[in-house]
Amino acid sequence: MMIRSAYRGGRRLAHVLNRCHRSSSSAAAAASSASAASDKNIICACECPESCPQQCHNLLDTDRQHVIHPYTSMTDPLPTFPIKSAKGIHLKLNDGRKLIDGMSSWWAAVHGYRNPVLDNALKEQIESSMSHVMFGGLTHKPAVQLTTKLLQLANNIQDDSTDYHHFTKAFFSDSGSVSVEVAMKMALQYWFTLEQPSKTKFVSLRNGYHGDTLGAMSICDPVNGMHSMFSGVLAKQLFVSTPTGGMEEDGVQTIIEMKQLLEEHHEEIAAVVMEPIVQGAGGMRFYHPSVLRKVRELCDEYNVLLIFDEIATGFGRTGTMFASWQNESTYQPWYLTEGSSFSIINSEDKKISTNEIVNADILCLGKALTGGYMTLGATLTTDKVAHGISHNGGVFMHGPTFMANPLACSVSLASMGLLTSSPWEERVRNVENALIEHISPLSELDSVREVRVLGAIGVCELKEGLDRDGMARIQRALVEEGVWLRPFGKLLYTMPPFNCDELEDDHIKKIGEAMYKVVSSKPKA
């Protein structure tokens, strides 16, 4: 492995079907001229009169007054954009504007929108079987088949074998946050049944994000995870500093702190929880995979379970099927920090060998699990944990109403099939190269601290955080540029639908150009 100032040239993205070459400005122009034209049934602008056939006016009004959106004021919310439909790589607003989606709907829609294979999986499930049944006392094919597929994937089994060497069990829940709650409860019950009830605490990394439910929140970053607001009810957990900068040596301090914590408190610690190599909503930071191996060794040494939260990173986003599979030879982040750039270039063979994978005891999955079609979380675990929990007749105490929803399981199975039968690794590499090429110019801007790329994740970190007005301004400006991104805090980032047949270099170029334009433009007085 070597580290050097480097530019990895952009390779063309896979050739596309159904290209849309209409530029964002021509789309906007078309929208406004069409709305000015008499045929308002075709395209209407959000500012249209109350006679608007699509009722945008009423819709926005009711939305603003009564519908609560995420992370915004309940009385003076950030603006919303009414969306009419989504197809392939594009979102279509009610006013006719077509936006390139750079968010994959919070990183979930990895194949893009209205994929015929996924659409059919849902239709077929509804028409041939059922949309939902309770999972207590009943079981069904979509859940069983999905379990088999996930266990094969998580055990790195490439054929139809069910010779699982590590993960052997799957619990299906409603969402990513709930899959984290389930993982934490598994760890707690494991130690309780093994008569070590004092092991109730969790260790996690600062700047982590694991969800918005109370248990998950307790292991999010104690500062940006809003702990102060909920301090009276959140369980007190333990934190170690996060490795920053992406290099192997950046993880040294994390390991020193982790060792010290485990040495002093292992009798109270149930598990360590981490997002492997990419911390998502807590800061979009990358860290070296050697940290995972060292934490695994410490967990084994001090008799503590290890939980990997792959809700954001699972199913290919970083270039390997799971981010925790990255090793010294696969890990290739690219950084451009205030003028100086580096990239870790690996010349070694990038094969992942199953016996070198760092396995957690419990693995949390969500988001791309259904290709972004339905809400579903999965918590996988091992015979060791399962036998621990059910030792002496213990039962696992969780069971949501919509557990293993058949629609979600069937579309998830189709999504896994779509992923594994496509050249997704090559596509992630192409997106990565295109991101490096097209977002690197942002680093020239005075307001930018760092630009970084790993797999299909491109991040521009600003020096100053955006306030409410700044966020609304940038969001609106991005829409005017024909791109959908969601800025937050100091971050403007993109995680495009990397496995969408339509995605080409030009889309990433437009995302990069739009990011550059909105960051470089001065706010209007």
Catalogue the active-site residues: 71, 209, 309, 367
The residue from 276, 280, 316, 372 that contacts ligand PLP (CB under 6 A) is 280
Helix or strand run (H / E) with residue 278: strand 278-279
**Out of 156, 175, 330, 443, the residue judged to bind ligand PLP by CB under 6 A:** 175
**CA-wise closest residue to 197 among 267, 265, 298, 272:** 267
Integer Cα distance of 329 and 288 in angstroms: 11
The count of other CB atoms within 10 Å of the CB of residue 7 is 13
Closer residue to ligand PLP (CB): 237 or 443:
237
Cβ 252 vs Cβ 288: under 8 Å: no
Best CA proximity match to 360, nearest among 305, 304, 311:
305
Q: How far is the CB of 280 from ligand PLP (least distance, A)?
A: 4
111-150 positions binding ligand PLP, by CB under 6 A: none
CB closer to ligand PLP, 154 vs 434: 154
Block residue for tokens 């998502």: 280
How many angstroms separate the CA atoms of 325 and 332, rounded? 13
Helix (H, G, I), strand (E, B) or coil at 222: coil
- Binding of ligand PLP by 180 (CB under 6 A): yes
110 binds ligand PLP (CB under 6 A): no
Residue (309 or 437) nearer to ligand PLP, CB: 309
Q: How many residues bind ligand PLP (CB under 6 A)?
A: 14
Query: Which of 24, 105, 173, 177: binder of ligand PLP (CB under 6 A)?
Result: 177
Binding residue (CB under 6 A) for ligand PLP from 181, 250, 275, 437: 275
CB of 165 to ligand PLP, least distance (A): 25
Task: Output the smallest distance, CB 237 to ligand PLP, in A.
Answer: 15
The residue among 156 and 179 lying less far from ligand PLP, judged by its C-beta, is 179
Among 27, 312, 357, 413, binds ligand PLP (CB under 6 A): 312
Q: Are strands 201-205 and 362-365 parallel, antiparallel or unpaired?
A: unpaired
3-state secondary structure of 90: strand
Q: Tell me the window of 73-81, 175-183, 404-412, 513-521 that interacts with ligand PLP (CB under 6 A).
A: 175-183
State the binding string over 235-274 for ligand PLP (x if CB under 6 A, else -). ----------------------------------------
* Rounded Cα gap, residues 398 and 402, in angstroms: 12
Quick note: the x/- pattern for ligand PLP over 415-454, rule CB under 6 A, is: ----------------------------------------
Does 209 interact with ligand PLP (rule: CB under 6 A)? Answer: yes
311 part of the interface to ligand PLP, by CB under 6 A: yes
DSSP assigned state of 129: T
> Which neighbouring-strand residues pair with 87?
90
Element of type H or E holding 148: helix 141-154
Shortest Å, Cβ 24 to ligand PLP: 27
Report the distance separating Cα 483 and Cα 458, nearest Å. 14
**Shortest separation between residue 32's beta carbon and ligand PLP, angstroms:** 35
Backbone angles phi, psi at 217, to 5 degrees: -60, -35
The encoded tokens of residue 435 equal 């991101």
Minimum CB–partner distance for residue 22 and ligand PLP (Å):
32
Tell me which stretch binds ligand PLP (CB under 6 A): 94-102, 194-202, 209-217, 389-397.
209-217
Contact between 309 and ligand PLP per CB under 6 A: yes
Q: What single DSSP character describes residue 205?
A: E
Among 52, 93, 281, 369, binds ligand PLP (CB under 6 A): 281
Closer CB to ligand PLP, 77 or 211, in the complex: 211
Residue 176 near ligand PLP by CB under 6 A: yes
- Nearest approach in angstroms of CB 20 to ligand PLP is 29
Q: Please give the Cα distance from 466 to 445 (Å, whole number).
A: 16
Which residue's Cβ lies closest to ligand PLP?
Answer: 176
The owner of tokens 């451009």 is: 336
- Residue 181 binds to ligand PLP (criterion: CB under 6 A): no
Dump the DSSP string for 156-189. T--SS----SSEEEEEEESSHHHHHHHHHHHHHH
* Radius of gyration of the chain, Cα coordinates, nearest whole angstrom: 23
Of 324-383, binders to ligand PLP (CB under 6 A) are: 366
Whole-angstrom distance, CA of residue 345 vs CA of residue 331: 8
Rounded Cα distance between 359 and 295, Å, is 11
Q: How far is the CB of 115 from ligand PLP (least distance, A)?
A: 20
Q: Is the CB of residue 48 less than 8 Å from the CB of residue 40?
A: yes
Q: Which stretch binds ligand PLP (CB under 6 A): 55-63, 171-179, 322-330, 383-391?
A: 171-179
CA–CA dist 129, 153 (Å, integer): 26
Instruction: Give the binding site for ligand PLP (CB under 6 A).
Output: 175-177, 180, 209-211, 275, 280-281, 309, 311-312, 366
